[in-house]
Each structure stands twice: as C-alpha cells, then as structure tokens.
A and B are shown apart, each in its own frame.
Chain A
C-alpha cells in the first residue's frame, strides 16, 4: 500500500509542470542571481576612495603650516589615492562638499587647519580621510613606526561559491511549500478520509509525502551540482559525501516541516504563508540572502541568527567546502535531525490530543 502511495505521489509531483519548474529552475535562478548581484560586494570592492577629492583654501597661512599641510596630504594621497585640490572660493567649496562633489574643504589659516565636512552625507571614504588628516596633524610625523604587512595565503571568499551552497539550501527550504500544499490538498479534496481507512493510514501518507520531498530535494541538489560545476566552475571539494549528507538532512527537515504544517493548517493561504514566511525568515537569518559575515558583525543579530537552521547549515557547508569536518558540521547534523524529530513529535502530540478530544466528544454524545 505504501509503495502504491509513494508511486502515486512521485507521479503527481513530477508530472506537474509547476512543481517541475520549481524543482529544476529555482536553485539555478537563485544561485545565478545571488552570485552575480553580490559579486562585487563580497569582494569588499566598495570603491571607498574612488574619485575622492578634498579641497583646500589658503587664508594667510604661514610657510610652516603650509609645509606641514603638504607633508600630511602627500602621505594621505599615497595611502588612499585621494586628490587635494586648491579652491579660491570657500563658500562655493562648502556647497560642493554638501553636494557630494568633495569629501571636505580644509581652510588653512595662520592658526591652523579648519576642516569642513558635510553634516548629513559624508561618505565612508571622506570619514576615513578626515580622521586620518586630524591624526596626522596631531602626530610627530618625522618618526614613523615600523610595521610588517603580511598577506595571508587563504582562499578568497567568492560569491559564486558562497551562493552555490547557501542559495541551494534556501531553495530546499522553499520546497516545504510544495509538500505542505500537497498534504493540504488531501484534506481539501477529502481523499484523506479514504487514506485513513486504508492500510497505509495517515502515517503512511505522511511518510510517502516526506519521501517524495526527499526525492525532489535530491533532484535539486543534482541540478545545482551540475550547474555550479559546469557553468560557474565551482568545485564542491573533497568532502562531497558530507556536503550531500547535510543537504539530505536539510531536505528531510524541510519536508517534515512542510507536511506537518499542511496537516495542521486550517486554510490553504495560512498553510502556504506559514511555510513561506518560515523559509524566508530562515533564509534571511541564516545568511542565504545577506552574507553570513555581515549578519555576524551586527551586535544583537549575531546571537539571534543562531536560531535559524540555515545558519548552521551554511556554517557547516562553508567548512566542508574548505575540506574541514569540524564541530560546525556535527552541530548542523544534530540540529537538523533534532528539529525533524521535534516537529514530528509535536505533530504526534497534536494529533493524539485531537483524537482523544474526538473520542471523548463521541462518548459524551452517546451518553
């Protein structure tokens, strides 16, 4: 009976054009868009000092002050590439600063330097140049300290690699919507009553839906693997089996969650939106949209994001891609198995309570 149910589920799933498009194209679409859109950002290629310019205005400055000014500005120009340009109209220069045409304007008087910056739109490059200028003006610049600059021989974070794994994990979470819909449809079409009477029962139906979900998820992983290898040139590394195992556990969790929500939802839109919202939140907090390192650098968020299963999945996948099987992988495996079991237990408790209520109501009615 179970085999028949599974066969029917697989047939229904893979003959539906919408489902097929979702399974085949969603990972490709997400990996492509995310990796292309954030390519420059992930490289931290912000153009911080691009076309950066600081204006200066001489006003009765002594030779000593001017000499000091040249030393400071030469050093800053060398370090940042920013140019220093003389102006003869201080007020116009201030207007130019407020219109983002220059980082700031330095008025050089016989008393010292007067730095004017915009109070509302000073860019990061401008902030850096200004604070450097103030520090150098206050420093003893004749005795520089010796510093050793060391370049680490490490792999650079790459958007193609990052989003191959994190966008695939995100699209797997979305698969829960298909499973939830499929389970809800059984209730809506009343076919669930027939299933209840059959040998397979509700458990068999749920298991067949979850297994179908796992099959769909595996297809998604294969599609993403082929796409990332052949088109993006991303090599999944030597821990492929571990990576696949993490993905299968994520698929299991997504399918279990989707099927349980499908069973307990009272209407279709609630069913869809619950899984969708949950997946979106997991994606946002798990680093599937915004890179994980950005979220980890936010003061409060760095703790909150740990509630997302995708956070642990993406952490584990990053380590595994680098060929490391560490505690992050083990945490991820335990969390995904634990969450799947927890969701199943909650569902069993709800259904048992529902059955008891139903029996007691029946008994009360017969009395």
Chain B
C-alpha cells in the first residue's frame, strides 16, 4: 500500500493542472456563484423622499436602520415597474403636506408583502429620540455575504471533483498497469485504498483553501464555530472519492465519466438545492431531494448554523460516511470479481 501511495502522490504532485483544479478553481467558482445565485430572503423596498422637512429625513433614517430589509434605488416614475417586475416589494413615498410640517406618506405595494405592516409601523411611529427608557443590544460582528448562496453549487463541485481519480483508475486498468501492480502481490483493496487516500488528501487541501477563502473574504458562515463547515466538507470529499472509485468500476472508458456528472449527479443536485434554495422548493421536490447525499451534506451544515453546535451535524455526517464506505466496498468487490474472472 505504501508504494501505491508513493506512486499516486508522485503522479498528482507532478500535474500542475491538477493543483489549479483543486486550489484556484474552487475559489473562483465559489466567488462567481456567490454573486450569481444571490437568493437573499431580505425584503427589497424603495424610499422616495420628495419632502424637504426634517421629519422626512428622520423617517428615511429610521427605515435605513431597519434590518432585514434592503433599500433599493428607485425614482418615482420607476416605482410601479419595479414593483411589477419584483425588484421591490413596496415603496415608501414621502411628500410635503400643504398645510402642516408633517409630511404626507404613501406606501405603494402589490398587496402581497410580508413586511408591509412592519414598515408601516416603523414609519408611523418615527419620531426623534423622545423616550428616556434606554435599550441596549449585544454586539454582533457585521455579516458579510453568506456562504449559503453558493453552498449547493460547491457541494456539487466537491462531489464531482473525484473525476480525476476515476480517470486515473480507468486509465491504469486499460493500460494494464493495474494488472502489473496486482501481479506484484498488492491486494485490490490496498491498491484502491492507497490511491483514494492520496486523492482524498489533495481534495481536503482544496476544501481547506475554499474554507480559508471564505474566512479571508469575510463571508458569513452563519455558525458559532465555522470549523464545523470544514468538517462537513471533508465528509463530502470522502463521498466524492468513494463515489468515483465506484464509478470507475462501472465504465469502460474515462470519457463516460462525464455522463455520471451530467446525468446522475446534476439532476440529484438540482433536487438538493444546487441552483435553487431548497427551503422554497415544493414539498414533493424536497422529499425527492432528501433522499440524496447532496442534501445530507447541506442539511448537516444547516443544522450547525441553526443549533450552533457541531454535534447536531453528526447524524448527517455519519450517513454520508456510511454511504461512502458502502460504495467503496462495492467497488472493491466488483473489481475483485472482475479480476477473478480474468484469472
């Protein structure tokens, strides 16, 4: 096994493209997808202030302080179109009143906004600080962009990263390299295990790079201890390796491996939230998605985010590791079976 590990280490270490694939590419995809899949649940509103009164300024200020909503730029003429096209849910329009100092306020909406009453309450109660009852709130670090936007896509990317290992296994089998290695007395499980360990190590480096990029760029992991995120990713790495070791026993040519990514993993990922937020999918789609390991991985991360404890992700991690072990054992048994047939 030591020789297999040494050999595989040398093969991958020499391949510069491989290092790009495991280090730079995940970070690029992570950043790209964080921007291209911005499924925020913040409510977008617009504030059009046409008044010059001091009170109007105070209203705008208090709306700006309201967290959980985002204020988007809009002119009075655009407001209707923006509500129709979904860019904003409602618009607060402040005009000067004819007789009094108190401005006239209108709230335009499509009548379907969850936050209309809250925004109305905020506006109607806006006054300068007049109360003498102090309110203190505990400090919290400012949130950056959330990792959850790109999570589904990154899980898909992590799972398909085992492709190169499968390609190497198929190549060695087709070039009869594997037969020569086995003739030297190496057992199949050691041969496959050795290669998998090396590949897993490199994949874990990729996950660490992705995690560090998130930390350095101040992404919001939504966790008390973001190390849990990395731990769950490691289980995804293990699954990817065993999934592709298994796939290598199913295909004859390495070209067929893309079929697995495109026609097996991608549809599974679609139901698990690779492109759309899982929590908004219809129940039927969620139930299908819940059967797939991509969902177990994402669920593990969500559990840590919700509970604040890494322990809550253990059941999901165990399921992923269990499936990985099963796939690896099947792959070894299939390979041994094929080998016996040849003998």
Residues of chain B from 258 to 299 with CB closer than 8 A to chain A in the complex: 270, 275-277, 280-282, 285
- B105 in contact (CB, < 8 A): yes
In the complex, A292 Cα to B102 Cα: how many Å?
38
In the complex, A292 Cα to B85 Cα: how many Å?
9
Contact B106–A147 (Cβ < 8 Å): yes
Contact with B along A151-166 (1 / 0, CB 8 A): 1101111000000000
- A327 in contact (CB, < 8 A): no
- A136 in contact (CB, < 8 A): yes
Contact B282–A39 (Cβ < 8 Å): yes
With A46-B114, A124-B68 in contact, do A38 and B109 touch (Cβ < 8 Å)? no
Main secondary structure of the interface of A (DSSP, over half): mixed
Contact A148–B85 (Cβ < 8 Å): no
With A44-B43, A98-B224, A136-B125 in contact, do A125 and B68 touch (Cβ < 8 Å)? yes
Contact B282–A147 (Cβ < 8 Å): no
Contact A138–B135 (Cβ < 8 Å): yes
Contact A140–B43 (Cβ < 8 Å): no
With A100-B307, A131-B65 in contact, do A113 and B133 touch (Cβ < 8 Å)? yes
Contact B37–A290 (Cβ < 8 Å): yes
Which of B36, B65, B108, B130 is A139 in contact with, Cβ under 8 Å? Answer: B130
The segment out of B136-144, B180-188, B314-322 that lies at the interface is: B136-144
Contact A98–B308 (Cβ < 8 Å): yes
By a CB distance below 8 angstroms, the chain B residues around A148 are 104-107
Kindly provide the distance from the CB of B184 to the nearest chain A CB, expressed in whole angstroms: 34
- A229 in contact (CB, < 8 A): no
Residue of A nearest to B82 (CB): A293
In the complex, A112 Cα to B135 Cα: how many Å?
6
- A301 in contact (CB, < 8 A): yes
Contact with B along A24-55 (1 / 0, CB 8 A): 00000000011011111111111111000000
With A75-B125, A149-B107, A294-B38 in contact, do A40 and B282 touch (Cβ < 8 Å)? yes
Contact B117–A79 (Cβ < 8 Å): yes
Contact with B along A109-129 (1 / 0, CB 8 A): 001111111111110111110
- A63 in contact (CB, < 8 A): no
Contact with A along B112-135 (1 / 0, CB 8 A): 111111101111111101110111
Contact A155–B67 (Cβ < 8 Å): no
By a CB distance below 8 angstroms, the chain B residues around A7 are none
- B51 in contact (CB, < 8 A): no
Kindly provide the distance from the CB of A342 to the nearest chain B CB, expressed in whole angstroms: 25
Contact A113–B136 (Cβ < 8 Å): yes
Contact B114–A301 (Cβ < 8 Å): no
Contact B308–A138 (Cβ < 8 Å): no
- A68 in contact (CB, < 8 A): yes
With A41-B39, A137-B131 in contact, do A132 and B85 touch (Cβ < 8 Å)? no
By a CB distance below 8 angstroms, the chain A residues around B67 are 124, 127-128, 130-131
- A365 in contact (CB, < 8 A): no
By a CB distance below 8 angstroms, the chain B residues around A294 are 38-40
Contact B127–A139 (Cβ < 8 Å): yes
In the complex, A76 Cα to B222 Cα: how many Å?
26
In the complex, A133 Cα to B224 Cα: how many Å?
25
Give 7 CB contacts A-B under 8 Å. Answer: A40-B282, A44-B86, A68-B133, A76-B118, A112-B135, A121-B223, A132-B118
Instruction: Known pairs A117-B140, A289-B36; list 13 more (Cβ under 8 Å).
Output: A41-B39, A44-B86, A75-B121, A78-B121, A99-B309, A117-B138, A120-B308, A124-B41, A135-B65, A147-B106, A151-B109, A154-B84, A322-B84
* B interface, CB within 8 angstroms of A: 35-44, 62, 65-70, 72, 80, 83-87, 89, 102, 104-118, 120-127, 129-131, 133-141, 221-224, 270, 275-277, 280-282, 285, 305-309
